Structure 1
Amino acid sequence: MVQTRRAPRFRVSKPAQIERGGDKTPCTVRDISTSGAALQLFNSIDRIPSAFTLIIPEDNLKLRCRVVWRTPFRVGVMFD
């Protein structure tokens, strides 16, 4: 398999929130790198915007993100 990612990703299981316009949606970070992450949602991702802030309280991080792929309960993001 050819690896097309810019940076290696690390498997994690960290609680996080997707924040946009004051609305927060809980999620779990499933893997992360310096350039992006894969997020698991508890409900369908239909209402997840194409750009948002990812909040990872455990690491005290707030990261601007853009969606690069979607499946029914996961979303892949690139950090801005």
Structure 2
Amino acid sequence: MNEHRIAPRRRVLKAGSIAFGGGAIDCTVRNLSETGAALEVVTPLFIPDRFILVVPSDQLKRPCHVAWRKDRRIGVAFDPQA
């Protein structure tokens, strides 16, 4: 399988949250790079196409958009920071 990522990813297992509209949904960050992440959720229902990914252990708070969805996994690309 060919990898077409811009930045190398690193496998992680960290607690995170998907923040949007004043609320948040818990997630597990499964891999992380400078340009995006793969998230695991209990259910992919009700997760919007754009949200803020928060990973407290890394002091990470990044706006992102969904690049792909498959079962309980969601791949996100980080939006450029202003």
| TM-score, structure 2 as length reference | 0.93
Asked if 1:39 is matched to 2:39, the reply is yes
Number of the residue aligned with 1:24 = 24
d(CA) in 2 for partners of 1:2, 1:71: 18
1:72 Cα deviation from its structure 2 partner: 1.7
> Counterpart in 1 of 2:53?
54
Aligned equivalent of 1:4: 4
The 3-state SS of whatever aligns with 2:57 is: helix
Counterpart CA distance in 1 for 2:18 and 2:29 is 10
Contiguous gaps of at least 5 residues in structure 2 = none
2:72 corresponds to 1:73: yes
**Whole-angstrom CA distance in 2 between matches of 1:19 and 1:79:** 14
Distance 1:23 1:62 in 2: 15
Query: Which residue identity is paired with 2:63?
Result: R
Deviation at 1:47, TM superposition (A): 0.8
User: How far is 1:32 from its partner?
Assistant: 0.4
Q: Return the letter of the residue paired with 1:21.
A: G
Across the aligned residues of Structure 1 and Structure 2, the Cα RMSD in angstroms comes to 0.7
Report the secondary structure of 1:46's partner residue.
coil
Q: How many residues align?
A: 79
Given residue 24 of structure 2, which amino acid in structure 1 is its aligned partner? K
